[in-house]
Structure 1
C-alpha cells in the first residue's frame, strides 16, 4: 500500500531517529539505494575468491547490492547501530595473552544479536506505521543478502575501515548493524568521511595476515572465517597462528585507535553468559554435545555445532603449553566418532609432543 501522500518525510526521518534512540539504538541513519560503488568492490572481492567457502555470497546475484531486487519497491533504508562491548579492552587483551584461556569474540559472549536487533527494528517499523500508515518494508539483521556496512556508511553511521569493519569516530567499531528497507522516500543522510589516514595497525596486528591490503580481507585466512564459517579442516599452516581464539577474532578492533572512544554496552542481553568470558580451554573441550547445546543456548556460537567447536578448541590446546592434562584430553578425543575432531586432536597432540 502506498504511503500517505501528505507526509512530511523530513519530519518523519527526524522522528524515526528519536524513536530509535528511545528503543535503545545508539544511532539511526538513512541512506538511498545506490550501492553501485560497493557492488564494484564486492565483485572484485568475489573474483579473487576471497569469500572462500561462503557460497551464499554468490548465491543471490546482485540482490545484495541492489536493494529493490531483494525487496521490491525499496526507496530508502533505515540503518541502525547498537553497541555491544561487554568489557574493557584491557580485559580482552589479558585473555588473549593467557594460553590456557578460551577466547571467544566479544560479540558472541551474550545473547544472539540477531534476535535482539530484529525485535527492536520491528518495534521501530511499527512506530513508523503508526504515523505513515501501512507501508512496504522488510527488517534485516545480518539475515539476508544485504551490504549492511556499505549502507551504514552511506547513512552516516561511520566509515568502512581498512579491516573492513565500520568505524564511528565517536564510538569506535564495537557495534551491531540492522536495517529496515522501506518504500518511503525518506531524505538520505550525508555519508561518513573516512578517517583511517595512514594508520596500518589492523593490517600489522592480524594474526594470520588476512588483511592483504587496506580494505581487502582474504576471508580464507581470517580467524573468524576459519573458526566460524569453515566447515572442514583448518589449513595446517594457519593453525599455529590461531593461538587460543576458538570462536572469532577481535584483534583488529582491539588495536584500532578509534576504539578508545568506544563505550561499554548497557544492554543486559549482551553481557557474558554462562561463564564464556572466563572459561578455560580444558573446561570447554570437555563439554559433551548436550553440554555444548545447553551452554550455548540463545547464543550465536551454537550455529557452528559441537564438532567444529571441538575442532577449534583442539587447535587452541595444541597452541598452548604442553601440560599433561591437555595431552590427556586430546588423547581422549582421538576416539571421537567424527574424523574432523580426531584429526585436529591428533595434530594438537603431536604439536605438544614436539
Structure 2
C-alpha cells in the first residue's frame, strides 16, 4: 500500500499562532462527526525510543526506529499532533459468517480517515491560515498507537492494541502534525484487566507478556505472499477468516457492550467476500472492483490462496 502522508503546508506560515485551542479542535471534530480527539506533544518525549523499539519489527511496519521517532514529517517545525480515533465496530449481520476482519468490512479506512482529517484542516485554516498541517494515517512512519496513548485516548492491551474506554480496541487512528502550539493531553494511567484471554486464544500463539511474534499472527500470515508452511496453513485454518484476524479483540472483555460506530462510512458494510466472484477477475479488474477496500492492497492471489487452504 502506498504511503499515505498528505502534506498541506503553507511555505509562508509562521509557527506562532495561538488562535486555535484544544477546545476549538474538540468543537470542530464534534461538528464533523469525529467522535474522539486528543493532543499529543511534538517532538516526542525523550523516552519514546523505549516504547517504540522492537528487535523483530513486523515487515508491514513503516519505517525504522529513527524514522518512527521523526514521524516521516516534511514540516520544518511541527509543535503538536492532533490525534483522532475513528471507531469501526459493527455487529455481524444476521445469518452472515464473516470471512474478513472487521476493519475491512467497509471502505478502506485510509481513505475515510484522510477525508475526515482533510475536512478538519479546512476548518482550522479558516481560523489559523498561517499554520501548517500534515496528515498521517497508519502507513507513514508515525507511531500511531503510541501517539494516541500520548494524546490520552487509551491504554495498551496485552494484544498490543490501543484500548479506548468507549470504543474498545476497534478504532482506526489518524493524526495531523501541525505547527500550532497546542496543550498536550495527559496519558491515561489505566491498564488492561490482564485476563490473558487474548494470549490464550491467539490462533498462532503470537502474543506474550513481553514479545510479539508477528510471524505466527494470523493477520500477518493471511497477508503474507507466496507459499506457506504447514504450520502457517494450520494457523489460517483456526478461524474462517481469509483476511486478517479478530480473535484477540473478540475475546477482550474491554470490547464487551461497546457501541456500534457512528461514522456513516463505516456503517455501510460487506462482512463477507465472495471468493467465487474474485477468482475470474484479472488483476486490473480486481483492482478496479476492490481498490476502495483495505484487503485489496496485497492483491487477489493471497485471498484465493487462503480460501484454498480453508477448503482443504
State yes or no: 1:184 paired with 2:180: yes
Q: Determine which of 5, 8, 14 is the counterpart of 1:2.
A: 14
How many Å apart are 1:250 and its aligned residue?
A: 0.5
Alignment of 1:217-296 (within 5 A): 217-228=212-223, 230-243=224-237, 244-271=240-267, 273=269, 276-279=270-273, 283=276, 286-289=279-282, 292-293=286-287, 295-296=289-290
Q: Aligned to 2:150, which of 154, 162, 165?
A: 154
The equivalent of 1:66 in structure 2 is 70
**Local SS of the residue matching 1:240:** helix
Residue 8 (structure 2) aligns with: none
Change (3 A) 1:311 1:256: same
Alignment counterpart, residue 39 of structure 1, candidates 32, 49, 55 = 49
Q: Which consecutive unaligned segments of at least 5 residues does structure 1 have?
A: 96-100, 319-354
Superposition deviation, residue 66 in structure 1: 2.7
Map 1:165-176 onto structure 2 (within 5 A).
165-176=161-172
Q: Deviations over 1:156-212 (max 9, x none)?
A: 11012111111012221111110000111100011122321332111111110111x
In structure 1, the partner of 2:84 is: 80
Which of 20, 38, 42 pairs up with 1:29?
A: 38
Are 2:128 and 1:132 aligned?
Answer: yes
Any idea what the Cα deviations from partners look like across 1:268-308, whole Å, max 9, x if unmatched?
Answer: 322355xx424566x35744336644542411111111212
SS in 2 for 1:126: helix
Question: CA shift at 1:149, angstroms?
Answer: 0.4
The structure with the largest alpha-carbon Rg is 1
Shift in Å, 1:85: 1.2
What is residue 16 of structure 1 aligned with on the other side? 25
Counterpart secondary structure, 2:47: helix
Q: 1:82·1:175 contact (CA, 8 Å) conserved in 2?
A: yes
1:110, 1:299 within 8 Å by CA — same for their partners in 2?
yes
Q: How many residues align?
A: 296
TM-score normalised by structure 2 residue count: 0.86
Contact (CA 8 Å) 1:68, 1:74: kept in 2 or not? no
Moved more, 181-190 or 124-133: 124-133
Report the CA distance shift for 1:36/1:3 in structure 2 as closer, same or farther (over 3 A).
closer
- The secondary structure found in structure 1 opposite 2:172 is strand
Deviations 1:233-274 (A, max 9, x none): 22321211212221000011111111114211233322355x
Q: CA deviation at 1:54?
A: 3.5
Check whether the contact 2:131–2:179 (CA below 8 A) recurs between aligned residues: yes
Unaligned runs of 5+ in 2: 1-12
**Equivalent residues in 2 for 1:321-336 (5 A)?**
none
Superposition CA RMSD, Å: 2.5
Maintained 8 Å contact 1:73/1:136:
no
Distance in 1 between residues matched to 2:145 and 2:175, nearest whole Å: 10
Distance 1:223 1:259, change over 3 A: same
The DSSP-based 3-state class of the residue aligned with 2:84 is: strand
Q: In 2, distance between residues paired with 1:227 and 1:108? A: 13
Q: Residue 66 of structure 2 aligns to a residue in which SS?
A: coil
Match of residue 346 from structure 1: none
Instruction: Describe the superposition over 1:17-50 as per-residue Cα deviations: whole angstroms up to 9, x where unpaired.
Output: 111121111111001022443422432x1x2x24
